Amino acid sequence: MLVLGIDPGLTRCGVGIISATKSKRSLIAVETIRSSPELSIEARLLAIGSAIDALIEHHEPELVAVERVFAQHNLRSVTGTAQVSGLALFQAARRGIPVSYYTPSEVKAAVTGNGRADKAQVGFMVKSLLGLDEIPKPADAADSLAIALCAVLRPQQTSNSETAAQRVWRNAARAAAK
């Protein structure tokens, strides 16, 4: 299954595609779509929407996973994030692709086993779970992959079992302690 993860943002929108089977997860593509604050809002949305459209058209994901917009103190930032989320939802809906929504804490919990994990922990787990040589940069790119991984890992979790992310994190902690 191909999953497109989107970390919506008006200045930087992380987008990442992973391939996932029962036994393997791998990186297909990752990038950060940027738009200049000097452009009009409609020009910025057009650029981001066009880039998301091209990515979906090229890779044909079977699921789109989007980080759910949450309230911040900066209303302008929330508005831009919500507008970019709407672009992603529109592109998925016009193709009949299902969409999953995850809060930041749900993504962190699915990928690291801790809903309060920091960016470094999330990046480390993205690298580990996808078998990458390094953590994708900037953080928006790594976050988009974490969102895609959440869509894959979350259904497999039960309250009584250790997640794949928790297992990798535990093994890494053991290796670092040696």
Residue 142 near residue 14 (C-beta atoms within 8 A): yes
Is 143 tagged catalytic? no
> pLDDT tens-digit profile of 87-121?
999 999 999 999 999 999 999 999 999 999 999 99
Question: Given pLDDT bands bounded at 50, 70 and 90, which one contains residue 170?
Answer: low
Question: Does 38 appear as a known binding residue?
Answer: no
Report the pLDDT averaged over residues 140-164. 77
What is the C-alpha separation between 156 and 40, in angstroms, rounded? 43
Residue 133 labeled ligand binder: no
pLDDT tens digits, 31-59: 999 999 999 999 999 999 999 999 999 99
Per the annotation, the verdict on 60 as an active-site residue is no
From residue 92, alpha-carbon distances to 8, 15, 127 in Å are 14, 14, 27
The pLDDT of residue 169: 66
Q: What would the pLDDT profile of 65-87 be if each residue is shown by its tens digit?
A: 999 976 666 666 788 899 999 99
Residue 24, pLDDT above cutoff 50:
yes
Residue in 53, 60, 62, 67 annotated catalytic? 67
Comparing 133 with 156, the larger pLDDT belongs to: 133
- 140 classed as catalytic: yes
Give the integer Cα–Cα distance in Å for 65 and 7.
9
Dist. CA 50–CA 60, nearest whole Å? 15
User: pTM score, two decimals?
Assistant: 0.85
What integer pLDDT is reported at residue 6 of this predicted model?
A: 98
Looking at residue 36, its pLDDT comes to: 96
Query: Does 140 belong to an annotated binding site?
Result: yes
- Give the domains, in start order, of the chain with CATH numbers: 2-177 (3.30.420.10)
In a 13 Å sphere around the CA of 175, the CA atoms on its Cβ side amount to: 6
